[in-house]
Amino acid sequence: MALEDTLSLGRSAGKVQGRYFGGAISCSGRDVESITMVTGAVVNGTVGPIVNGAQDVSFDFDGPSWHHSGSLIGNRMSGTLALDHTFPGKLDQVHLTGGWTALRRSTIPPPPPPH
């Protein structure tokens, strides 16, 4: 499975929201299937307090069938994606898991850690 997206995220009071753009997922097994993603909403997002320099983060692409969970450390987020999807071909209904990473490309510096 391979996936690349552009995320535009904002956060306020422990909530994360935004949009995702582009990307594709390709899976192979008995058949080769793919999902082409165009754009959608980042929903159900939360970010926890800083603990040992990291924050727990979770969010979904359009709904709970594309769930991302992980941690935010400085300019980098990473974690696990759990995806439930029905392909139209031989693969049919699948549950996929895999890792994801995101890097901040904003020119706005992150807030300083609390003392």
pLDDT confidence of residue 9:
82
Report the C-alpha dihedral over residues 1, 45, 19, 39, rounded to 10 degrees.
40
Structure tokens at 38: 């165009």
Report pTM: 0.76
Q: Per mean pLDDT, which of 5-19, 24-38, 72-86, 88-102 is the most reliable?
A: 72-86
Cβ neighbours of residue 58 closer than 8 Å, sequence gap 6 or more: 44, 45, 46, 67, 68, 69, 70, 79
Q: How far is CA 93 from CA 27, 61, 84, in A?
A: 12, 18, 7
If pLDDT is split at 50, 70 and 90, which confidence band does 90 have? low
Residue-wise pLDDT for 15-72, tens only, equals 989 998 877 777 666 667 777 777 889 999 999 999 999 999 999 998 888 899 999 9
pLDDT confidence of residue 108:
60
Residue with tokens 């299937």: 33
- b/e for 53-88, b at 16 or more Cβ within 10 A? eebebbbbbeeeebbbebbbeeeebebebebebebe
